[in-house]
Structure 1
Amino acid sequence: MKRTGYGRRRVLVTGGAGFLGSHLIDRLLERGDEVLCVDNLFTGDKSNIDHLVGNPRFEFMRHDVCFPLFVEVDAIFNLACPASPIHYQHDPVQTTKTSVHGAINMLGLAKRLGVPIFQASTSEVYGDPAVHPQVESYWGNVNPIGIRSCYDEGKRCAETLFFDYHRQHGLDVKVARIFNTYGPRMHIADGRVVSNLIVQALKGEDLTIYGDGSQTRSFCYCDDLIEAFLLFMDSGPGTHGPINIGNPIEFTIRQLAETIIAKVGGTTKLVQLPLPQDDPLQRKPDISMARQKLGWEPKIELDQGLDRTIAYFKQKIAE
C-alpha cells in the first residue's frame, strides 16, 4: 500500500463501529496508521470506539456507504453490512443495497485513488453447502429467494463486482470469506449463536438451540481474524482471493451450548426449537489457501476465546 508522509497510511474502515471493524481499527492505530472510521450506526455502536475519542490519528464520520463518499485515503477495508440474521432480515432491501451499492461506491473510490481495497465477504456465499469442508473453488448452494438471500446473494454480487473491477480496471482487490467469528464487542442482541447462548446462560435462562443441535460450526476468535485481515491487505498486488478466513476446528451447536453451561454454571438446560429456513447444517472452512498465501492459521482455542467473551458479556449485562 502506498504511504503518506513519515511512512504513515491513512486507512478507511467502513462499518468501523461494528464488532470486527472496531477491533480492526484498534490494530491499525496500534501499528501507527491514521484511520477514518465510517459507519451509519445501523448495527454499529459508538461505544465500540468511545475509547478512541481524542486519538489524533482517529476520525469518525457518520455516513451510509449506499451513497458516494469522497475522501483521500491510502487503503480501504469495506466491512459495512449487517451480519447477523436478526439485523440483516430486519430490512432485507437495505441489506442488499448496502452490499451492492456499498461495493460499487467503495470500488469507485478505490479506482479513483488507485488504492487497494479489502472486502469482508462471508461463508454465507456457500449457502447450505454440499461440499464439506468448504473450499474457495466451490460455487455454493444458495437459495436466491429465501429469507437469508438478501445477505447471501448481496455478498455474492459484491464479490462479482470486486473481481470485475479487478479484471476491467486492474484494481488491487482482496476478498476474504469470513466464517463464524466471536469475541468481545459482539452485539448483545444480534441473534448469533455464541452471543445468544452466553447471554442466556449469564441471565440464568434456558439455552435455545435449533433442531437437535447436531448442526456444526467452526468458531474463530476475533483477534485471529483481524490478524488475517492485515496479512491479506499487506500481501501485495498478486494476491486477491477469495480466501477463506476462519477456524477449521468443527463443533456441534450442542457441544458449544454444553461448554458454555459448564463455564457459566447454574441450573440452565437446553431447549430445542425448529430449525430456521435455509440454516446451514454444516459450516467448516478449508484454510489451505490462507496457510499458503498468508502464512496464517488461528491460534486462540475456543476454550480461551469463550472465557474472554463471557467476561465481556458479564460486564455488559452488569452495566
Structure 2
Amino acid sequence: MFDKYVVTEIEALVSENKELFEHLHTKKIFITGATGLIGSQIVLALLTANKKYNLNIGITILVRSLLKAKSIFGDDIAELQVVEGDVRDRIEVADSIDYIIHGASITNSLDFVQKPVDTIFTVVDGTRNMLELAKVKSITGFVLLSSLEVYGSFNGQKDVSEDDFGYLNPANARSSYSEGKRLAESLSISYATQYHLPVKVARLCQTFGPGVNYEDNRVFAQFARSVIEKKDIVLHTAGSTERNYCSIKDAITGILYVLILGQSEEAYNVANEDTLISIKDMAELVTSLDESSATKVVFDFQDINKFGYNPEVKLKLLTKKLENLGWKPTVDLPTIFTGLIQSMRHGRVTQNE
C-alpha cells in the first residue's frame, strides 16, 4: 500500500494538473512496469484523477506478480484491469487501448553488470512487444520511458539537449542498460516511421521521492538510509559526477505531457534544471537535513566497476523542449530528499512491525 507521503504528493499532482488529466476522459491506458516506483505512482495518479474528476479512465496494467500488484494497490486493484505476464513475452489484450506507457525495465545498477544479457533483452524485447501491441490496437499515443544514460559521457561539463550524444563504450557490460535504451529508442522511432505510430520518448534523469523501497540500493536511497540509521555516508569515489534530478511528482507530470501533447518521433528530457549537483555536494546536502548531525560524509575509494556505478559524467539535461509543451518542475532537491527520508523512515517502521 502507498504511504501517506506518496498519497499526499500524488493528490497535489492531480489537483495542479486538472486540464491535463481531462485529456484522458474515458480513454483506455495500458501501463507496463506498473509495480515499479514510477509506474505504480502513475497508476495511483490516474486512479486519483478518476475519483476526483469522474474521468472514467480505463487502466490496464501489465505485472509479473499479481500478488505484488495487490500488495501495492490494495482495494484499488478492483478498479484496474490486470494482465499477468512478462514484458519479454508476446502480450495479448482483449480490450481496446488508446495510450501505452511503457516503463518496464531492469533498474538495479548491479544487474547491469551481473545480468547484462537479461538487462538488454528486457529492454529491447519488451519494447518490441509493446510496439507490436500498439500496432494491433491503433493507439492514439505511446511513450517509451528512457534514460539520461543514452547520452553517455562528455569531456567536461555539458548542457545536454535532446540532440546531443557523448561517448558510450559498447564493449563494457555496464553499457547493457544504456545501449539497450538506445536501441529501444531507435526501435520505437523506427516503428513510428514505418508503421505511422504516434510514438514519443521521455528521457528521465534519476528520479526519486516518496515511495522508494527502504532496501533500494540507488545512491539517493543509500544517502537517505544513512541519515535514518544515523550512519556515515560512505563515498567510494570522489563524488565528482554532476547531474540534475527530478521528483517523482514532476516526472509523472512530464511523462503525461509527452504522452498527450508531445510530437510523434520526438524525445523529451524530463529533469529539473535547477537541481544540478555533484554526488559529493548531494551527500553534504543530505547530511544537512539530519538535525542530530550524526551523519557525516566519509571516503573509502574502491574499484567502481564492482558496484555497477556509471562512469563519471558532468551533464545537465536541458528541458526547454518539454517546458514548451506547458510542463514545469515544482519540487526542489531539498524537498525531494525530505519527502524521500520521511517515506523511507515510515517504510522502515512498517517493515519492523
Q: CA deviation at 1:55?
A: 4.8
What SS class does the counterpart of residue 49 from structure 1 fall into?
helix
In the TM superposition, what whole-angstrom CA distance separates every residue of 1:121-141 from its partner, at most 9, and x where no partner exists? 000001123471111111331
Tell me the TM-score normalised to structure 1 length. 0.90
Map residues 116-195 of structure 1 onto 2, 5 A cutoff.
116-130=141-155, 132-195=158-221
Aligned to 1:315: 346
Q: How does 1:1-319 map to 2 (within 5 A)?
A: 7-32=25-50, 33-40=57-64, 46=69, 49-51=72-74, 53-71=75-93, 72=95, 73-115=97-139, 116-130=141-155, 132-235=158-261, 238-249=263-274, 250-264=276-290, 265-272=292-299, 273-274=301-302, 276-277=304-305, 278-292=310-324, 294-319=325-350
Counterpart of 1:17 in structure 2: which amino acid?
T
Q: What's the offset of the Cα at 1:107?
A: 0.2
Give the aligned residue type for 1:274: Q
Other structure's SS at 1:284 match: strand
Instruction: Give the counterpart letter for 2:72 in structure 1.
Output: I
Amino acid at match of 1:246: A
For residues 132 and 229 of structure 1, the distance between their equivalents in structure 2, rounded to whole angstroms, comes to: 24
The letter of the residue matching 2:298 is V
Give CA deviations for 1:86-141 in whole Å, capped at 9, x if unaligned: 24444221111111100110000001111121100000001123471111111331
Output the amino acid matched with 1:26: L
AA partner of residue 198 (structure 2): D
Q: How many angstroms apart in 1 are the aligned matches of 2:181 and 2:264?
A: 20
**AA in 1 matched with 2:269:** N
Question: How many Å separate the matches in 2 of 1:287 and 1:275?
Answer: 33
> Residues 89 and 126 of structure 2 are in contact (CA less than 8 Å); yes or no, is this contact kept in structure 1?
yes
CA distance in 2, matches of 1:189, 1:147: 24
In 1, Cα distance between equivalents of 2:216 and 2:132: 31
Q: CA separation in 1, counterparts of 2:128 and 2:346? A: 39
Percentage of identical aligned residues: 27
Distance (Å, rounded) in 1 between the aligned partners of 2:126 and 2:137? 17
Following the alignment from structure 1 to structure 2, what is the Cα–Cα distance between the partners of residues 94 and 74?
A: 29
* Distance change >3 Å, CA 7–CA 259, structure 1 → 2: closer
Question: What CA distance in whole angstroms lies between the structure 1 residues aligned with 2:250 and 2:71?
Answer: 18
Asked whether the equivalents of residues 18 and 45 of structure 1 are also in contact (C-alpha less than 8 Å), the reply is no
CA distance in 2, matches of 1:40, 1:226: 22
Change (3 A) 1:283 1:39: farther
Where does structure 2 lack aligned partners over 5 or more consecutive residues? 1-23, 51-56
Greater helix content: 2
> Would you say how many aligned residue pairs link Structure 1 and Structure 2?
310
Unaligned runs of 5+ in 1: 1-5
**1:150 Cα shift?**
1.2
CA gap 1:303/1:62 in 2 versus in 1, 3 angstroms: same
3-state SS of 1:81 partner: coil
Provide the TM-score with structure 2 as the length reference: 0.82
